[in-house]
Structure 1
Amino acid sequence: MKIIQPQPEKSLYLFEVDDVLYPHRDFILQIYYLFGQFVEFTESRPIGSMVTEFMKSRYEANQTDDLLGATKKEFELSQDYSENFERLQANGHLPLKLLLFDEIKASFQALTDAGKQIAILTEGNPVLQLNKLKHMDWEGWDKQLKIYFTDELVFRKLAPFSYIADEFGVDADAIEYIRKR
């Protein structure tokens, strides 16, 4: 990603989370680690690091369809861990902070220096997305950011861009949305 340069016609910049603010890989690999440790404890077998490595290699090979099923089969797991895996993603406490891309920090600074407003607009399960956000090392940027969850706004029958434009007192055309391409 490149540094976002302020545009004269834009006054509000909305940023997606995954692979925009930070590398999503950093989150999911920590979840795989936590999951491996959980499986090791539950199964009472020393397989945590092998489970983590198996899941990581499948992820990196872009083979994540039915990842839990493949993991269960590979390690002959005695139970379905789907609920536990989902719970870890939504509520797990990550061992390491998620670090903002350097380009994002520079973009935030450039936009702020130009008098532009910045906020987060993220799609997906709000609980899961919030868990990611609370594990980020914001370096103080979180104190001046509002966070919006697309799914929550749509559930409330609100059009996200119109709602956020009203909140900030800007025209919807003055919003720039930065997301993974």
Structure 2
Amino acid sequence: MLKYHDFPTDKKVFIFELDEVIYPKRDYLLQIYYLFANFLEFTETFPPQADLVSFLKQHLEQDGEELIFEHAADTFHFDLKYKEHFERLFVNAVLPVKLLMKEGIRELLSAIVADGKQICILTKGNPLMQLNKIKHIEWGVLASKLKVYFVDELQFRKLEPLDYIADELQIAKNEFVYIDG
């Protein structure tokens, strides 16, 4: 577990990846799978939501995210036309339950802010999906203290993300710490 006192005291900015650092990515994925399974059962009456969620959860744990939709469609014989809806959920779903931070992260972020330091999120992946995750995390008072950057967006603009953040915040690169998990 990360503790504030484990970091050098001279750092002005703490930059965190989102997935697996701030919160467990699995928590987001399972809620998306649950929403998709509910949608599919409501639309087609088959497969039963619980069976599809169980399959998706097991696939995630054993084989990861890759080809999860295709394997589910093959196993449960549902139409591939639902893939667009499945993918759309990742960027605009309203989650039934807030995402909780990993153990000790809220305390770490609070200690950083209490010491007058800046916290940033620098996250990889589809910016719309990452923003949706950020919206569903239970930040509390920390929400107003965050500055968020998207790796994919910065790289698309041919910018090196950490250099960009240092320039924007007007700090030297040795004045921040990047926690990437």
Residue 7 of structure 1: how far off its partner (Å): 1.3
Partner residue of 1:153? 154
On the 8 A contact 2:47/2:76 being kept in 1, the answer is no
Higher helix proportion? 2
CA deviation string 1:53-89 (max 9, x = no partner): 1101111223443211111111111334222111001
Partner residue of 1:108? 109
Residue 46 of structure 1: how far off its partner (Å): 5.5
Larger displacement relative to structure 2 (171-180 or 130-139): 171-180
On the 8 A contact 2:120/2:148 being kept in 1, the answer is yes
Residue 101 of structure 1: how far off its partner (Å): 2.0
On the 8 A contact 2:32/2:95 being kept in 1, the answer is yes
DSSP-derived class of the 1:147 partner:
strand
Structure-2 separation of matches of 1:106 and 1:63 = 30
Structure-2 separation of matches of 1:110 and 1:32 = 34
Structure-1 separation of matches of 2:63 and 2:3 = 28
Letter in structure 2 aligned against 1:10: K
**Does 1:165 pair with 2:166?**
yes
Residue 16 of structure 1: how far off its partner (Å): 0.6
DSSP-derived class of the 1:95 partner:
coil
Instruction: Give the alignment's TM-score, normalised by structure 1.
Output: 0.92
Letter in structure 2 aligned against 1:2: L
Letter in structure 1 aligned against 2:146: L
Partner residue of 2:100? 99
**Paired residue total:** 180
Identity of aligned residues (%): 43
On the 8 A contact 2:52/2:72 being kept in 1, the answer is yes
On the 8 A contact 1:14/1:119 being kept in 2, the answer is yes
Structure 2, unaligned runs of 5 or more? none
Larger displacement relative to structure 2 (148-157 or 43-52): 43-52
On the 8 A contact 1:68/1:81 being kept in 2, the answer is no
Partner residue of 2:29? 28
On the 8 A contact 2:110/2:142 being kept in 1, the answer is no
Partner residue of 1:8? 9
What is the RMSD of the two structures over their aligned residues, measured on CA atoms? 1.5
On the 8 A contact 1:72/1:80 being kept in 2, the answer is no
**Does 1:45 pair with 2:46?**
yes
Q: Spell out the pairing of 1:76-155 with structure 2 (5 A cutoff).
A: 76-155=77-156
Letter in structure 2 aligned against 1:130: L
DSSP-derived class of the 2:134 partner:
helix
Instruction: Give the alignment's TM-score, normalised by structure 2.
Output: 0.92
Structure 1, unaligned runs of 5 or more? none
